[in-house]
Amino acid sequence: LQQRRGLRLSAPAAIQVTVRDALNQALDEELERDERVFLLGEEVAQYDGAYKISRGLWKKYGDKRVIDTPISEMGFAGIAVGAAMAGLRPVCEFMTFNFSMQAIDQVINSAAKSCYMSAGSISVPIVFRGPNGASAGVAAQHSQCFAAWYGHCPGLKVVSPWSSEDAKGLLKASIRDDNPVVMLESELLYGVPFEMSEQAQSKEFVIPIGKAKIEKQGTHVTLVAHSRPVGHCLEAAAVLSKEGVECEVINLRTIRPMDIETVEASVVKTNHLVTVEGGWPQFGVGAEICARIMEGPAFNYLDAPAVRVTGADVPMPYAKILEDNSIPQVKDIVFAVKKALNI
C-alpha cells in the first residue's frame, strides 16, 4: 500500500551481531535446512556449548541432532567421520583446537585422505570447528594456532573467519561443502559485535571458500592477515594513515585453498607486502604467502623484501606481560610497515 502511494520504503538496515550469535545463527539455519546436519562435542547440548555457540539448539532440535559427548576427542571425531562417510553431515566441535591433537589421526588420516584413497567414491562432508590460537591467560597447552598445521594437508579445506559475516558465511559454506573443512575460530572474537549487512542476514548467505576479502583499499603497502589479526591490521592502518601511509588490508578468510591471486594483485599495486598472524614463524601461513609471491609474477613488483609479523617462537607463557609480548600487537605491525617502506 505504501509503495502504491509512492512512499519510499527503506531496506532493513545493517545490524550489530556478535561472532557468537552469527555462528549460532548459521548452525540453527543449517540444522533447520538439512536434516542430515547434526552437531556433536563436549557440552554442546544441555549446557548450550562451552562458549554458548550452540545456545538453544538442543532444546529446539533434541538429542539426535545436538549431541553431548564424553571427553574423548579421538572417539567422537571418529564417530563423526564415520557418520559423514555414511551420508550425514556432522559438525564436530572441539572445545579448543589444541584438543584436536587428540583426534588428529581422525582429521588427517580418516577425513582428509579418504576421498583420494577411494578414487572419489567416499566423500567426507564434515566440519571440525572450535576456538583456535591464543585466548587469554590459558598458557601454552591452550593457545596454539593450527592454521599452518591443517593448511599443510591436502584433502582438507581450512577457513579462518574474522568478522560476524565471515563466521556465518564461512560456517554455512563449510557445512554445505562435500569435503572435510577445518574452521578455526577465535575465542577472543566470540563476544565482539560486527556490523552485519542485510544480505548476510539472509538464510541463503554463504561466503565462497577460497576467496579473500579486501577490508580496506590502500596504495603503499599490502597487509595480509586472518582471524583476529585482521582487526589489528585495520587499527595499524588507521594509525599509519595519519602519517600519510595508506595500507591495503586483506582478510584472507581461507587458509586452504589460499586466494593468492588477490594478494598478488594487491602487491602489484602497492609494491610492498607485510603478513600478520598469531601463529609461530617457522613454516607459518606468512611464510607460505611470501614463498608464493616470490614464485609468482608479483615478485617483480616488490620494491622491498616482504616482512612477516608472527607470534613469538616460544610456547605461550602464562604471565600476562609475557603473553602480550608473544602475540602480534598493533605497534608491531606499524613497525613492520615502516621497515618495509624504509621510513
| Amino acid letter, residue 332 | D
How is residue 206 written as a grid cell?
554463504
- What DSSP state is assigned to residue 17? E
Give start-end residues of each CATH 3.40.50.920 domain in the chain. 213-341
> In this predicted structure, what is the pLDDT of residue 12?
59
Name the residue among 89, 93, 92 with its Cα closest to residue 33: 89
Domain spanning 15-201: CATH superfamily: Thiamin diphosphate (ThDP)-binding fold, Pyr/PP domains (3.40.50.970)
| Amino acid letter, residue 130 | G
10-residue averages of pLDDT along the chain (343 residues) = 46 85 98 98 97 97 97 97 98 97 97 97 98 93 96 98 98 98 97 95 96 98 98 98 97 98 98 98 98 97 98 96 95 98 95
Which residue in 42, 93, 142, 288 is the catalytic one? 142
Indicate if the alpha-carbon torsion angle 310, 312, 317, 322 is positive or negative.
negative
Give start-end residues of each CATH 3.40.50.970 domain in the chain. 15-201
What's the number of CA atoms in the CB half-sphere (13 Å) around residue 54? 31
The Cβ of residue 313 has, within 10 Å, a number of other Cβ atoms equal to: 10
Name the residue among 272, 279, 291 with its Cα closest to residue 341: 272
Name the residue among 313, 26, 18 with its Cα closest to residue 183: 26
* β-pairing verdict for 37-41 and 213-216: unpaired
> In this predicted structure, what is the pLDDT of residue 10?
52
Phi/psi of residue 171, nearest 5 degrees: -65, -40
> In this predicted structure, what is the pLDDT of residue 13?
78
The answer as to CATH 3.40.50.1010 being correct for domain 213-341 is no
Instruction: Confirm whether 73 is a catalytic residue.
Output: yes
Measured distance CA(55)–CA(40) in Å, rounded = 13
- What DSSP state is assigned to residue 129? E
Which distant-in-sequence residues (6+ apart) come within 8 Å of 144 by Cβ?
A: 97, 98, 132, 133, 279, 316
Which residue in 73, 165, 248, 264 is the catalytic one? 73
